[in-house]
Structure 1
Amino acid sequence: MQKVMALVSGLVLAPAILMSAPATAALDWDKALNGEHRSEKNKARDEFRHPRETLEFFGLKEDMTVVELSPGGGWYTEVLAPLLHDAGSYYAAHNSPNGGAYSRRSLGGYLQKLGKDNDTYGNVTVTTLGPADSVVIAPAGTADMVLAFRNVHSWMRADTLANTLLVAYDALKPGGVFGVVQHRAKDGRDPERMKATGYVSEDYIIAAARSVGFELDGRSEVNANPKDRGDYEDGVWELPPSLNTAEENREAHRAIGESDRMTLKFVKSAS
């Protein structure tokens, strides 16, 4: 009889134990977007870069393993690092320390940013996107999401686009997401002009991604800007935030705002 009672008690208690397990905290958007770790200058760009809407479109969850390719000065790092700090993992695949002077300056500035705020960035894992023949941005098949923000034209210039797409594909789990935001050119634009201006056509990126095995899963106009005509002689850098244009054009270009951008969601086949 005592054995029966013990078994019954175990059956009754087990569900209660399962129900009391702590739930994973939801994404803390207020902390990520409005925390003191972000400068007012970077917060002001949320109007044009729409970080919450963009990451929600890609399907970001708090417990994901996420890789950001070429994070530059860390604009999106400021958002992703706190969102993934407690339950997820964040890899920043940055420049090689042996990639030349520009590469070293960019990487050095990024590392200084991380080092100045360990509470926010202490869990960031920095990996290397280069050299092209020996890249490991994260352990193969471990990432839930790989992100590329306005970098495709740079990889085209360096003739590393195909390899970069391959390493992104290799890092992802089957069913993982590859999210791309890029200055948008009209379809059919000459690739050399894309390299020169920073504007890349959707058809070019979709074809390149499909060539390594990605499947297009969705498009969003969250980062669209119909005011941007995209035909400036010196490219996207004539618009904010760079404003590398003649003084007489600056007021008009400020009124346009930042570039028109595509937002594409690809997936790695689960088969």
Structure 2
Amino acid sequence: MRKPFLSLVAVLGLAACATEPMLGPPPPPPSGPVAVSIPANIAASLSDPSRPAADMVRDRDRHPGEVLAFAGVRPGAKVADLIPGGGYFTRIFSKAVGPRGRVYAYVPDELTKAAKREPTVNAIARDPAYPNVTVILNTLPNFATPEKLDLVFTAQNYHDMHDKFMGPANLSVVNRQVFKALKPGGVYLVIDHVADAGSGLRDTETLHRIDPAVVKAEVTAAGFIFEGESRVLRNSNDPRKANVYDAGIRGKTDQFVYKFRKPSTAR
């Protein structure tokens, strides 16, 4: 059975532009996410036939093209997917960075022991379609990679590192280790579910959400510069009171996408 090329359709839709002259007053600005240009390497990674059909269906809600474009993922880049889960982004990174690039799927040992099975992403690393993927098993906060990186990426996981089953991990050390692993000018991209402003770490274990201000404060304390936010995953209709796994909100939560950069003068 051929896999649906939903992601390619979405990318082509974003890239399309009107050629007819506009008559009358300009239309009001769109209420949803603003369309962005998707680089060719990222567009190709989304339409890659090796991707599971279920992953392509999820693209509608996760907007991976816009997210990777915001992160600045280029061919030849060295990327760490920190806590990759089932490898949704790992596969996309693999094709986006290409044969000259490298993707390190970084799995904390704490998660492997809790699941009592090997990481799901191991199957991706063994798949000949993804030869540039390497799995790293290590305990947090001992984040380290064999080479300097262009990007460290973590999606919907930062709050987990504050949870009891992860230790909790010492995030001040984790973030400093991420800083150390990056090349000068490298990017640290953090995506997570939004908790109420001022709630701090209150909801990390119960609702699996985190106050974005906590993330910004912790990451910049490690030496990073906050470069900006993509609003592609924001959802003002999320009341932020429900567990992110609840059927009524799952896949539709209000999420922040924060981009931090290691100063180009840092070593």
Normalization by structure 1: what TM-score?
Answer: 0.76
Task: Show CA shifts across 1:67-111 (max 9, x none).
Answer: 110111101012111112322221111133895241x5251x221
Partner Cα distance (1:31, 1:227) in 2: 32
Partner Cα distance (1:131, 1:218) in 2: 26
Partner Cα distance (1:257, 1:123) in 2: 29
Q: Please, which runs of 5 or more residues in structure 1 have no aligned partner?
A: 1-25, 244-252
**Which one of the candidate residues 253, 258, 265 is aligned to 1:259?**
253
Which residue in the other structure is 2:117 paired with?
105
**Which one of the candidate residues 121, 144, 154 is aligned to 1:136?**
144
**Identity value in percent:** 26
Return closer, same or farther for 1:106/1:154 CA change in 2, 3 Å cut-off: farther
**Residue correspondence of structure 1 range 180-195 to structure 2 within 5 A:** 180-195=190-205
Aligned residues: 223
The answer to whether residue 52 in structure 2 is matched with residue 58 in structure 1 is no
Which residue in the other structure is 1:126 paired with?
135
Amino acid across the alignment from 1:258: K
Task: Show CA shifts across 1:8-45 (max 9, x none).
Answer: xxxxxxxxxxxxxxxxxx74334311222222211111
Which residue in the other structure is 2:244 paired with?
236
Return closer, same or farther for 1:201/1:190 CA change in 2, 3 Å cut-off: closer
Amino acid across the alignment from 2:88: W
The answer to whether residue 158 in structure 2 is matched with residue 155 in structure 1 is no
Return closer, same or farther for 1:92/1:257 CA change in 2, 3 Å cut-off: closer
Which residue in the other structure is 2:93 paired with?
80
Tell me if structure 1 keeps the 8 A contact 2:77–2:150.
yes
SS at match of 2:197: coil
SS at match of 1:105: coil
Partner Cα distance (2:91, 2:54) in 1: 12
Partner Cα distance (2:241, 2:78) in 1: 37
Which residue in the other structure is 1:29 paired with?
42
SS at match of 1:32: helix
SS at match of 2:204: helix
Tell me if structure 2 keeps the 8 A contact 1:68–1:93.
yes
Amino acid across the alignment from 1:269: P
Partner Cα distance (1:86, 1:99) in 2: 28
How far off its partner does 1:194 sit?
2.8
Q: Please, which runs of 5 or more residues in structure 2 have no aligned partner?
A: 1-38
Normalization by structure 2: what TM-score?
Answer: 0.77
The answer to whether residue 217 in structure 2 is matched with residue 207 in structure 1 is yes
Tell me if structure 2 keeps the 8 A contact 1:128–1:135.
no
Tell me if structure 2 keeps the 8 A contact 1:135–1:167.
yes
**Residue correspondence of structure 1 range 40-51 to structure 2 within 5 A:** 40-51=53-64
The answer to whether residue 115 in structure 2 is matched with residue 89 in structure 1 is no
Q: Give the greater-gyration-radius structure (CA).
A: 1
**Which one of the candidate residues 221, 224, 228 is aligned to 2:234?**
224
Task: Show CA shifts across 1:153-177 (max 9, x none).
Answer: 1101122122321221110011111
Which residue in the other structure is 2:264 paired with?
270
> Considering only aligned residues, what root-mean-square deviation do their CA atoms show, in Å?
2.1
Partner Cα distance (1:97, 1:197) in 2: 20
Q: Please, which moves more after superposition, 145-154 or 256-265?
A: 256-265
Could you say which structure has the higher helix fraction?
1
Return closer, same or farther for 1:98/1:71 CA change in 2, 3 Å cut-off: closer
Return closer, same or farther for 1:121/1:38 CA change in 2, 3 Å cut-off: same
